[in-house]
């Protein structure tokens, strides 16, 4: 996976990484790199399939792998995830199958949403991953509501509310943050700031020096973290989740990333991004930054790299084959999960 473009090195010694990641830190890094390599391989394959007309739409998480994998590894099975638009890999790291994700993209008969949801907007209730929505910011207030319910039920879990920089301009950002602050709810707000709300740069959204600074208005801490640094992101999310579970209230984490692909397969970033953006983003590639550190510290040999990449590509190939082999949703499923009983559907037998 190594490329010729220089990347910013991760500034850690072995001891510093061990302190940030805890026991079994070497295994955790290898696991993280494997997940990130899988995400990168899957994104590349899906973008290719969309251009071939084999899927209709795709929004890649390329450049955000550190955030998603760290959130998946740092959270527990008791926690809940309310995703934005690029957190599919949080669900997969938490146990949602890659094949299930592929089914949701193809919208086939094995898609849990029966083909009704937008592609790459999966739902995975079995891993406490709430369905994505293209409505910007609504998940923020919903996450605060579930955090209130967890508190009321004395459940042990916390909630991760994931969103991008664009969602900080939504009404639900204010409503969710304020509600969580007033009631000191067990929720961690994860803002993946990739610096572009589709075509709008973050500097056109706010005069605040950082998005993390907005937390002060709601009475809880906010921190800005390098979102392309897996070690820093994992440590920050882990600490915020511990605070939430120990009744310490919410935290806002602004995770600074660089969008490395178009906003979606329907976007042309060449129309609005500066000419040097791709090079700047490549220098902060989260996969290559982690890879470089692991190679330099003797945790990743060339043979291991090749094996991880081969495994990722084979997993992607198998998931795509399974999804393309499945039939379309049957017409009778159109009203399933919509009406209380088949007889309640229009034209159904009401007797």
pLDDT for position 171: 96
pLDDT for position 350: 45
Distances (CA, A) of 272 to 192, 268, 275, 337: 20, 8, 9, 42
Of 45, 259, 284, 289, catalytic: 259
Of 263, 284, 289, 292, catalytic: 263
Q: Residue 30 gets which letter from DSSP?
A: H
pLDDT for position 267: 77
Ramachandran sector of residue 51 (left: φ over 0; alpha: ψ -120 to 50; beta: rest): alpha
pLDDT for position 351: 43
3-state secondary structure 38-75: HHHHHHHHHHHHHHCCCCCCCCCCCCCHHHHHHHHHHC
Alpha-carbon Rg for the chain in angstroms: 20
Long-range pairs of 327-333 with CB within 8 A, sequence gap ≥ 24 = 327/108, 327/109, 328/107, 328/108, 328/109, 328/115, 329/107, 329/108, 329/109, 329/111, 329/114, 329/115, 330/109, 333/109, 333/114, 333/115
Of 116, 156, 272, 280, catalytic: 272
pLDDT for position 345: 58
For every one of its 351 residues, what pLDDT tens digit does the chain have, with 9 covering 90 and above?
A: 654 458 999 999 999 999 999 999 999 999 999 999 999 999 999 999 999 999 988 888 999 999 999 999 999 999 999 999 889 999 999 999 999 999 999 999 999 888 888 888 888 999 999 998 888 999 999 999 999 999 999 999 999 999 999 999 999 999 999 999 999 999 999 999 998 887 888 888 899 999 999 999 999 999 999 999 999 999 999 999 999 999 999 999 999 999 888 787 777 887 888 888 888 889 999 999 999 999 999 999 999 999 999 999 999 999 999 999 999 999 988 888 887 776 665 655 544
The answer to whether residue 263 is catalytic is yes
- For residues 34 and 69, the answer to whether their CB atoms sit within 8 Å is no
CATH architecture of 14-263+281-289+300-326: 3-Layer(aba) Sandwich (3.40)
| Token pair 């890999």: residue | 89
pLDDT for position 203: 87
Query: What residues contact residue 321 under an 8 Å CB cut-off, 6+ apart?
Result: none
CA angle in degrees (0–180, nearest 5) for 108-114-120: 70
pLDDT for position 152: 96
Task: For residue 214, give both structure tokens.
Answer: 């907005």
Interatomic CA distance for residues 190 and 275, integer angstroms: 29
Task: For residue 322, give both structure tokens.
Answer: 């399974």
Interatomic CA distance for residues 251 and 172, integer angstroms: 16
């Amino acid at each position: 996976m190594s490329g010729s473009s220089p990347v910013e090195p991760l500034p850690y010694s072995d001891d510093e990484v061990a302190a940030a990641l805890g026991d079994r830190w070497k295994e955790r890094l290898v696991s993280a790199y494997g997940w990130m390599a899988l995400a990168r391989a899957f994104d590349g394959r899906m973008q290719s399939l969309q251009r071939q007309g084999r899927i209709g739409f795709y929004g890649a998480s390329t450049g955000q792998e550190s955030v998603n994998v760290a959130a998946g590894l740092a959270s527990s099975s008791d926690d809940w995830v309310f995703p934005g638009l690029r957190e599919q890999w949080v669900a997969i790291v938490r146990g949602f199958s890659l094949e299930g994700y592929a089914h949701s993209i193809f919208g086939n008969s094995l898609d849990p949403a029966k083909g009704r949801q937008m592609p790459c907007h999966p739902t995975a209730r079995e891993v406490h991953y709430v369905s994505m929505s293209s409505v910007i910011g609504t998940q923020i207030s919903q996450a605060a509501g579930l955090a209130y319910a967890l508190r009321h039920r004395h459940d042990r879990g916390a909630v991760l509310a994931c969103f991008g920089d664009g969602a900080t301009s939504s009404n639900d950002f204010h409503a969710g943050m304020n509600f969580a602050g007033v009631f000191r709810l067990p929720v961690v707000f994860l803002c993946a700031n990739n610096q572009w709300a589709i075509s709008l740069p973050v500097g056109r959204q706010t005069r605040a020096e950082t998005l993390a600074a907005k937390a002060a208005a709601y009475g809880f801490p906010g921190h800005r973290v390098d979102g392309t640094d897996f070690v820093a992101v994992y440590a920050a999310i882990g600490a915020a989740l511990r605070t939430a579970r120990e009744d310490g209230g919410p935290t806002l984490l602004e995770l600074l990333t660089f969008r490395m692909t178009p906003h979606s397969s329907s976007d042309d970033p060449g129309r609005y991004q500066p000419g040097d953006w791709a090079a700047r983003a490549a220098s902060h590639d989260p996969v290559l930054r982690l890879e470089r550190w692991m190679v330099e510290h003797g945790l990743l040999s060339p043979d291991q790299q090749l094996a991880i990449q081969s495994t990722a590509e084979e997993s992607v190939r198998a998931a795509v084959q399974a999804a393309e082999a499945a039939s379309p949703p049957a017409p009778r499923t159109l009203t399933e999960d919509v009406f209380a009983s088949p007889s309640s559907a229009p034209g159904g037998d009401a007797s």
